Copies of this chain bind each other. A is one copy, B any other.
Amino acid sequence: MERRRVGILGATGMVGQRFIQLLSNHPWFEIAWLAASDRSAGKTYAEACRWKLDTPLPKRIAAMTLQPNVPEGSAIELPKIIFAALDADIARELEPKFAAAGCAVISNSSAFRMTADVPLVVPEVNADHLALLETQSWRKEHGGRGGYIVTNPNCSAIGLVLALKPLEERFGIESLFVSTMQAVSGAGYPGVASLDILGNVVPFIKNEEEKLQEEVGKLLGRLSGAKVEILDAKVSAHCNRVAVEDGHTECVSIKLKKKATREEILAAWSEFLPLEGQHLPTAPEQPVEYDEGVDRPQPRLDRMRGHGMAATVGRLRECTLLDWKFVVLSHNTIRGAAGAAVLNAEVLALLGKLDKLGVPLEKFSARAVAVTA
């Protein structure tokens, strides 16, 4: 099978580097186009990037020339599939341009996550929300050329909703607390100053508690016609930065609508296999793994489960205030960012939504959204 050409916007940042790491040997996609800031255009990737991952920068990528970060003016043909790892302000300006140019923009930015007609998707949780694409404004407004924007959630929300979805399905969620201990890579590079985090905790991450609280509601919301009904559950988040390189750890207390036993909850997690049999390259075999160890999950030991795409849950115990307590962990720049977007792209491919991009809308005939969580 021929691999589809893809591009990466914001290719030199921490999430951009993860995109390159995850896509450089991808069986379905081939990196054909890279862009970073204006300043970088014309440089090779190796010149413009301080590579910070512990696998080598692939030589082919190192030699690629960075293109202007707009749909026009590329020295090489613009791919129709664009992974975007941009800061929110820049995403707000650039992503619509690429969508208008007929591209499928698979975005990791927060800019449009809460926009009504933009799907905010974790494939195991709410792939059905991709139906929003049928009526998304960018596709209509710009000559209906098949472009659109799809987003994945904030890094602190993804692991959490993976753990919550099986509980919501079986028991319903009434309310929850979540207190996070987040890795520094979530802030990008240079991001958190070492003087701020060595031997320290910073109990504040700008806008993070708000994002976490609202994104959970949309992700667990129900698609109703052409819109998502936000889940009516109270979510209270406390977000903290800790001296961890990768991996967000979250302490959760939860109240369910219907009482559940420990065994029922463990079964809900272990039987949560919504993508089973779909053969998506990036999907973990078991999206939610429960670890029986008394002191697990831990970021250094568990973040790479499922090649960094699984959420690990542990310490399920009764809560004196709500019903149950547990700890959930996931890798923030793989599952929580680049890997999430790649998995979104794989689902889009499966659904036929990466075909007929850039052609007039009437010719776009995606298969019905068949994958549901």
Question: Which residues does A use to contact B, with CB under 8 Å?
Answer: 14, 51-56, 175-177, 179, 181, 184-185, 189-204, 213, 234-236, 238, 240, 242-245, 249, 251, 253, 294-305, 314-315, 319-322, 325, 327
Contact = CB atoms under 8 A, between A and B. Distances in A.
A170 to B, nearest CB: 22
A236 B321 contact: yes
Nearest to A202: B295
A243 B194 contact: yes
A193 to B, nearest CB: 4
A231 to B, nearest CB: 13
Given A54-B300, A177-B236, A177-B321, 13 more contacts: A190-B196, A191-B194, A194-B198, A197-B198, A198-B245, A199-B199, A199-B299, A204-B315, A235-B320, A236-B321, A236-B325, A240-B249, A243-B243
Contact of A52 (B191, B199, B301, B321): B301
Contact of A191 (B193, B197, B204): B193
Contacts of A296: 203-204
Contacts of A203: 249, 251, 295-298, 314-315, 327
Contacts of A198: 184, 194, 197-199, 243-245, 300
Contacts of A201: 181, 242, 244, 249, 298-299
Contacts of A315: 203-204
User: Top 3 nearest A-B pairs by Cβ distance?
Assistant: A179-B179, A190-B193, A238-B251
A336 to B, nearest CB: 15
A51 B244 CA distance: 20
Given A234-B321, A236-B253, A236-B321, A245 B55 contact: no
Contacts of A51: 301
B301 A54 contact: yes
A55 B197 contact: no
Nearest to A252: B238
A200 B298 contact: yes
Contact of A304 (B55, B251, B322): B55
B185 A195 contact: yes
| Max chain B C-beta neighbours (<10 A), residue from A51, A201, A236 | A201
A5 to B, nearest CB: 29
A319 B191 contact: no
Contact of A236 (B243, B298, B319): B319
